[in-house]
């Protein structure tokens, strides 16, 4: 199973996203979506599981999602400080025990294993920071260890 990971679109889905995420089974959007038109556009590619970001005031989405994909549990939450997680995130990690956490907010790609939990930030599809390119990622869940492909997007 292939999951498209995207975050921090802030109302703009670059044209390159369509080609980059073509063929994924689901899209996980880690917040700062912008208007719901973004979700509608992404749903033309694959079903979308999205959460609110800190700038998503005009739309209704859950703050956190816990999704099961086969044997894998994935937590989607916008703001996750990997070094100093909030009490909410600590409680979710403790009670739900996800294998993977997908988050956004920093606008920079991140992929690291901490205490047997893989933390992934696909970066921002439209407003990158820190000298990074706009990006999305594909998480392949087949096999024993999930593989991540980070995709730098051509700016449009």
Domains and CATH numbers, the chain: 2-152 (3.60.21.10)
Q: What is the pLDDT of residues 108-148, one digit of tens each?
A: 999 999 999 999 999 999 999 999 999 999 999 988 899 99
41-60: b (≥16 Cβ within 10 Å) or e? ebeebbebbbbbbeebeeee
Q: What is the pLDDT of residues 50-74, one digit of tens each?
A: 999 999 998 999 999 999 999 999 9
Q: Mean of the pLDDT values across residues 33-41?
A: 97
In whole angstroms, give the CA distance from residue 118 to residue 99: 6
Strands 147-152 and 117-122, how do they pair? unpaired
Residue 156 has pLDDT above 70, yes or no: no
pLDDT band, very low/low/confident/very high, at 35 (cuts 50, 70, 90)? very high
Residue 18 has pLDDT above 80, yes or no: yes
- Can you give the pTM of this predicted structure? 0.96
């Amino acid at each position: 199973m292939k999951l498209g990971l995207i975050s921090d679109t802030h109302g703009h889905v670059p044209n390159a996203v369509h080609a980059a995420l073509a063929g994924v089974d689901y899209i996980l959007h880690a917040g700062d979506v912008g208007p719901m038109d973004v979700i509608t556009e992404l749903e033309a590619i694959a079903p979308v599981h999205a959460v609110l970001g800190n700038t998503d005031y005009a739309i209704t989405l859950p703050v956190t999602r816990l999704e099961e994909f086969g044997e894998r549990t994935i937590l989607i939450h916008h703001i996750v400080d990997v070094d100093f997680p909030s009490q909410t995130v600590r409680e979710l990690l403790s009670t739900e025990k996800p294998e993977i956490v997908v988050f956004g907010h920093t606008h920079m790609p991140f992929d690291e294993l901490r205490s047997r939990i893989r933390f992934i930030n696909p970066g921002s599809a439209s407003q990158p920071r820190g000298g990074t390119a706009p990006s999305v990622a594909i998480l392949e869940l087949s096999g024993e260890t999930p593989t991540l492909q980070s995709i730098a997007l051509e700016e449009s």
